[in-house]
Chains A and B, each alone.
Chain A
């Protein structure tokens, strides 16, 4: 089977996500779909999967034009979309999961478990998979879950499979298992679209590649003709680093040590992490999904436990038993996913802005409202929070202003270390710049600021230096001219710092 997507255009409002993108794939090919976050990869695949409609363009299957108004038509045409969040039910055995929604029934309506089991077994044998179909899905590791999902797609006679970052949560051996499966699929003449950020894997498993940037197809061809470095630069383009906010600062100006971490591991999300951060520094921490940076800093903040390692604050070892402990010692943590982790919707703006400091100013457990009002007024003015009444619901504010309220609760606590996890997530451009300005101002006041972000551009624009994480370890540290998107991307995809030197250093 051959699919072609011709001159696809798609915009959301005034935002052109895909600008005339063409793409094709034949059975038996594995094609890598590459691009930074927001490049348009998911939109393109969602169009192919029938999840969202396109504005202009055509999809052809074996030369005939088709229409996918819903995912059902796409599936019927033989396209299977395997999402990052797997669609399996942990409490059912594999064979029942394989037939979810298409159960085989006996005449009287009860499930024909035997036949479902046998058919699953048949598929597994065909694919050379040694797995008991009666096992509970919950007992499988992540790679086998992926494999079960792929087999399920095979059972519906899929001839094109879209895999959205299938390896992010897998260990190396599990990745090998999935790759073996992909090779088998290839022999069965199935075409695979492989979305990944990991260039090592792309080089290993893929035949072709397509790179999207800002909704344009910037490069395509055979993997054997390019290097990882080429791919990384296709993804980011060369026209970056505009209006950098980075301060010109030489190392001699850096203040005293504030936070030092030695050999920190939780043996799950991060391993053997060591770094030091000084007064007035802005340090970026970046990486791709599954790099463990949020987990690392949640542990430093005392919200999660860790197994080994030591944390020093101003030279003294600290043991943070709880988040409250950390706050008292001067660590602040603005979490990612504001709605889930920071906003308390049953409380008003004022309470959301003061919850952290309640215990600091309280007398005998009674909240000192006037003190908090005073503090909040100060923050409100300096952060330029646009809002109605202080007692309005927090949800009445725009994303940017909500984020500022969350930021204000941490600033009222006078932290020494301010950890910001994706501080500009879901924030409009104006508020984004204001948050950057605030970060710079805070660093000038002597606070050690740590910015966690998946956007390399953000890190480059505001940070003095950056730690790049890959699979739970710090893959490299970059600063100065080395702090560019190519180097960061290369490190974040598992490359070594040495590879880059001399090539991109200007």
Chain B
């Protein structure tokens, strides 16, 4: 059985460039799963540009405003964008991670305890200060994140606890523990640490965006070219067949949850270094839903198997631009979630249509 080719539209009215474009578009639309997402993103960007308006004295000033708006959007979403990348892998294995928001605060709190310049600071207490303290903190926090993710992974693989339950439990435990141990605790993070997020390149505060971009590129490569990346698809698509093909299913899952924890800890470092503190009772609340939404809008199949790192980046951008748009339109904050919900459902509807076509 050969897959039938799309009917050739060119034959009806030959050689007009317009029709060539339409047939190319149709072909892309039905064959490239990321194409419709990209189109949606482009439409959002055009809308956003129009809404921002052209009411500026010069092109230079308009461009300045436009760029600034974009940098704001990207920077505000970098941390969650990184978490969404990890969530993509988790969902591709057929799992889910509800604990990301709580992992964010527990790793964030850990970072702040390590760095605190006051009496409670752990590293300061043993005489490590300055740049070495910052580097050590980054390593320890990332290690902690990886460890927490791995613990969740072990309970899912060895303990055979369903991912939803394991991460739901972890979500409650991590935040509750963090809140208990940080009661009445005011930290002051060293100023140098804030440079991680606020260091300016030229005149632009874009470090979080750069981290996001680098991580996205690395994970894109991992998902396309490495055994680990391809085995994720195999595990999520048909776990039994993967096992019978020599894939160590448990190891793949363990690594995916470990990676998830690691990425969340990076997000925590970005968050803490952006603001200098963290609100342990509210930071990261709903983060899991935003990350899942970004992955789903980006074409990841909730049942596992199919998923795209690039799609998740698009998905995150669509949600981010839409938030910005609603802001520009002056839509009341409580209504914004509704729009997000609509976007998620429409995105999935679009993907269903492609499948049946």
Q: Is the CB of A303 within 8 A of B244?
A: yes
Q: Is B320's CB within 8 Å of the partner chain A?
A: no
> Within 8 Å CB of B306, what residues of A?
346
Q: Is B248's CB within 8 Å of the partner chain A?
A: yes
Cross-chain pairs A/B with CB under 8 angstroms, 21 sampled: A303-B243, A303-B244, A322-B246, A322-B248, A326-B246, A327-B246, A335-B241, A341-B241, A344-B233, A345-B238, A346-B237, A351-B230, A355-B245, A356-B245, A358-B227, A358-B231, A359-B227, A365-B226, A369-B225, A396-B3, A398-B1
Could you say which of A340, A346, A365 contacts B236, with CB atoms under 8 Å apart? A346
Q: Which residue of A lies closest to B233 (CB)?
A: A346
Interface size class of A (residues with CB under 8 A): 20 to 34
> Within 8 Å CB of B236, what residues of A?
346
Could you say which of A301, A344, A369 contacts B242, with CB atoms under 8 Å apart? A344
> Within 8 Å CB of A333, what residues of B?
244
> Within 8 Å CB of B227, what residues of A?
358-359, 362, 365-367
> Within 8 Å CB of A342, what residues of B?
241, 244-245
Could you say which of A323, A362, A393, A396 contacts B246, with CB atoms under 8 Å apart? A323
Contact A367 B244, CB 8 Å, known A347-B237, A396-B2:
no
Q: Is A397's CB within 8 Å of the partner chain B?
A: yes
> Within 8 Å CB of B3, what residues of A?
388, 392-393, 396
Per the 8 Å Cβ criterion, residues 10-30 of B in contact with A are: none
> Within 8 Å CB of A340, what residues of B?
238, 240-241
Docked pose: A323 CA to B231 CA in angstroms:
14
Q: Is A152's CB within 8 Å of the partner chain B?
A: no
Q: Is the CB of A397 within 8 A of B1?
A: yes
Q: Is B234's CB within 8 Å of the partner chain A?
A: yes
Docked pose: A303 CA to B243 CA in angstroms:
7
> Within 8 Å CB of A344, what residues of B?
233-234, 237-238, 241-242, 245, 305
Q: Name the distance in Å between A300's Cβ and chain B's nearest Cβ.
A: 13
Q: Is the CB of B247 within 8 A of A324?
A: yes
Q: Which residue of B lies closest to A358 (CB)?
A: B227
Contact with A along B270-309 (1 / 0, CB 8 A): 0000000000000000000000000000000100011000
Q: Is A409's CB within 8 Å of the partner chain B?
A: yes
Q: Is B228's CB within 8 Å of the partner chain A?
A: yes
Q: Is the CB of A409 within 8 A of B245?
A: yes
Interface size class of B (residues with CB under 8 A): 20 to 34
Q: Is the CB of A343 within 8 A of B241?
A: yes
Docked pose: A324 CA to B243 CA in angstroms:
8
> Within 8 Å CB of B241, what residues of A?
335, 340-344
Q: Is the CB of A367 within 8 A of B230?
A: yes
> Within 8 Å CB of B305, what residues of A?
344-346
Q: Name the distance in Å between B357's Cβ and chain A's nearest Cβ.
A: 15
Q: Name the distance in Å between B245's Cβ and chain A's nearest Cβ.
A: 5
Q: Name the distance in Å between A467's Cβ and chain B's nearest Cβ.
A: 22
> Within 8 Å CB of A326, what residues of B?
246
Contact A359 B237, CB 8 Å, known A367-B230, A398-B1:
no
Docked pose: A341 CA to B243 CA in angstroms:
9
Could you say which of A323, A343, A345, A366 contacts B226, with CB atoms under 8 Å apart? A366
> Within 8 Å CB of B226, what residues of A?
362, 365-367
Contact A367 B225, CB 8 Å, known A344-B241, A346-B236, A358-B230:
yes
The 5 closest A-B pairs by CB, nearest first: A346-B305, A346-B237, A327-B246, A324-B246, A358-B227
> Within 8 Å CB of B240, what residues of A?
340-341
Docked pose: A290 CA to B349 CA in angstroms:
44
Q: Is the CB of A345 within 8 A of B248?
A: no
Q: Is the CB of A345 within 8 A of B237?
A: yes
Q: Which residue of A lies closest to B92 (CB)?
A: A346
Docked pose: A323 CA to B242 CA in angstroms:
10
Q: Is the CB of B2 within 8 A of A388?
A: yes
> Within 8 Å CB of A345, what residues of B?
237-238, 305
> Within 8 Å CB of B248, what residues of A?
322, 324
> Within 8 Å CB of A397, what residues of B?
1
> Within 8 Å CB of A409, what residues of B?
245
Per the 8 Å Cβ criterion, residues 162-189 of B in contact with A are: none
Docked pose: A367 CA to B227 CA in angstroms:
6
Docked pose: A326 CA to B244 CA in angstroms:
10
Contact with A along B299-329 (1 / 0, CB 8 A): 0010001100000000000000000000000
> Within 8 Å CB of B238, what residues of A?
340, 343-345
Q: Name the distance in Å between A216's Cβ and chain B's nearest Cβ.
A: 34
Q: Which residue of A lies closest to B224 (CB)?
A: A367
Q: Name the distance in Å between B346's Cβ and chain A's nearest Cβ.
A: 23
> Within 8 Å CB of A341, what residues of B?
240-241, 244
Per the 8 Å Cβ criterion, residues 82-140 of B in contact with A are: none
Q: Is the CB of B234 within 8 A of A323?
A: no
Contact with B along A308-348 (1 / 0, CB 8 A): 00000000000000111011000001010000111111110
